[in-house]
Amino acid sequence: MHKQVRHIFSKTFGSRPGIRTFFSPGRVNLIGEHIDYNGGFVFPCALSIGNYGAIALREDQTIRFFSQNFESVGIVTVSLSDLDFNPNHNWANYAKGVIREMRIRGMVIDRGFDVAVFGDLPNSSGLSSSASIELLIGVMMNDLFGLGISRPDLAVLCKKVENEYIGVNCGIMDQFVIANAKAEHGLLLDCNTLDFTQVPLHLHGHTIVICNSKVKRGLVDSKYNERRAQCEAAKAVFQRRLPIRELCDLSLEQFAEYASDLKDDVLFRRARHAVTENIRTQNAHRQLLADDLIGFGQAMTASHRSLRDDYEVSCAELDVLVDLALANGAIGARMTGAGFGGCTVNLVPQNCLDSFRSAVIDGYRQAFGIEAPIYFAVPSDGTKEIAER
């Protein structure tokens, strides 16, 4: 793949010395869903699929972007002095926003460059293609211009770009894991403090399998913002009783004691998801450390039920994918990411991978007439330069 992206670079911008190649992964969240913005624990890992980028400096102040995945957008040409959002620039806005934010903070990016991108991550499937692009450019700038930004700070910077420049009100999970992940590990992140632990994924004969529903819901952004607002409203009710900073600061006991203050059933269920998901995630981490894969899988499935019934961010297609997975050997299955479409993540014994795959594909085709792409996840490193071979 890295040869391919260099080829795309040369074809688009002409061959020249000094081309450097980077890889930025996508991510899948194993457990801890919709609680990064509630100060909870999340447990994602980075994937071996993602975005490859080739970059070379120029002598002037011009930046040219090209992505093979958005061929019809063509080459986007901008000047270092004009990095404002432009809807015509499509995917390149993610890159422009990061560079702009770095310059606003006084970081010295004083030469233009050409950059070509090529990725094998399905777009709009909930595997974080946008955070992957942000970190790709962020790490390129950090390395090429010697900016010295730490990985956690880079993640926070990219999240700010997504929130304020792109206008998507996401939490910190995606940018953080893509910036900081380690191969063969999951990353347990406390979103309150940004303390994190790399957790070896000893899966004892199981594979993390991702099933893509291929459903892309236009409503994701508005529903996502609605969920965030509901959590804020629920938090304000508990804050009248307890000195909590975030909804996930509540223990199960505190939740039980004061939940009757929530006069609204919807707010009650949203808060119950946040509190129980946070506890499930910490328990799942302990279960993994104790080699209790069955317990870990059960926590994943319980997470799905809570997202489906209490948080109401699943959809019929994701529910069918989860049911098919559990009926065909998975020891845990859940929707992953923002929901309303996108992917499920499943823990599947290696000795039934083939039958799992064909049964899920057949069952999903019968139910919805859609071929579901299935990926075997390889927990990978965060964004990095790829060594020359």
The residue range among 106-114, 170-178, 242-250, 278-286 that interacts with ligand GLA, by the rule CB under 6 A, is 170-178
- Convert 61-116 into a string of H (helix), E (strand) and C (coil): CEEEEEEHHHHHHCCEEEECCCCCCCHHHCCHHHHHHHHHHHHHCCCCCCCCEEEE
Q: Tally Cβ neighbours within 10 Å of residue 386.
A: 16
The residue range among 109-117, 166-174, 235-243, 260-268 that interacts with ligand GLA, by the rule CB under 6 A, is 166-174
Closest CA to 161 of 115, 104, 76: 104
**Least distance between ligand GLA and beta carbon 166 (Å):** 11
d(CA 7, CA 345): 33
Gap between the terminal Cα atoms of the chain? 12
Spatial neighbors of 187 by CB under 8 A, at least 6 apart, are 43, 44, 45, 46, 176, 177, 180, 181, 196, 197, 198, 199
Structure tokens at 362: 């057949």
Examine residue 37 and tell whether it contacts ligand GLA (CB under 6 A): yes
Q: Which of 2, 34, 151, 270 binds ligand GLA (CB under 6 A)?
A: 34
Q: Which of 120/221 has CB closer to ligand GLA?
A: 221
Hunting for tokens 């509630």 — which residue is that?
38
Q: Which of 114/310 has CB closer to ligand GLA?
A: 310
Residue 122 DSSP label: P
Distance, CA of 218 to chain centre: 18
The residue range among 32-40, 70-78, 145-153, 199-207 that interacts with ligand GLA, by the rule CB under 6 A, is 32-40
| DSSP count for the chain of H helices, then E strands | 11, 12
Is residue 8 a contact partner of residue 118, using CB atoms and an 8 Å limit? yes
Closest CA to 13 of 53, 46, 41: 53
**Least distance between ligand GLA and beta carbon 389 (Å):** 33
Binding-residue total with ligand GLA (CB under 6 A): 11
d(CA 214, CA 364): 11
Q: Which of 2/273 has CB closer to ligand GLA?
A: 273
DSSP string, 208-260: EEEEE-----TTHHHHHHHHHHHHHHHHHHHHTTS--SSGGG--HHHHHHHGG
Q: Is 261 a catalytic residue?
A: no
Q: Which of 36/101 has CB closer to ligand GLA?
A: 36
**Least distance between ligand GLA and beta carbon 239 (Å):** 21
Examine residue 170 and tell whether it contacts ligand GLA (CB under 6 A): yes
What character string, x for contact with ligand GLA (CB under 6 A) and - otherwise, covers 327-366? ----------xx----------------------------
Q: Which of 2/308 has CB closer to ligand GLA?
A: 308
Residue list 263-302, contact with ligand GLA (CB under 6 A): none
**Least distance between ligand GLA and beta carbon 312 (Å):** 13
Q: Of the listed 36, 114, 174, 310, which one is catalytic?
A: 174
The residue range among 34-42, 94-102, 134-142, 319-327 that interacts with ligand GLA, by the rule CB under 6 A, is 34-42
Residue 312 DSSP label: -
Is residue 20 a contact partner of residue 385, using CB atoms and an 8 Å limit? yes
**Least distance between ligand GLA and beta carbon 319 (Å):** 17
**Least distance between ligand GLA and beta carbon 339 (Å):** 7
Q: Which of 340/375 has CB closer to ligand GLA?
A: 340
**Least distance between ligand GLA and beta carbon 5 (Å):** 25
What character string, x for contact with ligand GLA (CB under 6 A) and - otherwise, covers 219-258? ----------------------------------------
Q: Which of 171, 329, 332, 341 binds ligand GLA (CB under 6 A)?
A: 171
**Least distance between ligand GLA and beta carbon 28 (Å):** 10
Q: Which of 134, 174, 277, 310 binds ligand GLA (CB under 6 A)?
A: 174
d(CA 363, CA 374): 13
Examine residue 33 and tell whether it contacts ligand GLA (CB under 6 A): yes
Residues assigned a catalytic role: 174
* Contact footprint for ligand GLA (CB under 6 A): 29, 33-34, 36-37, 170-171, 173-174, 337-338
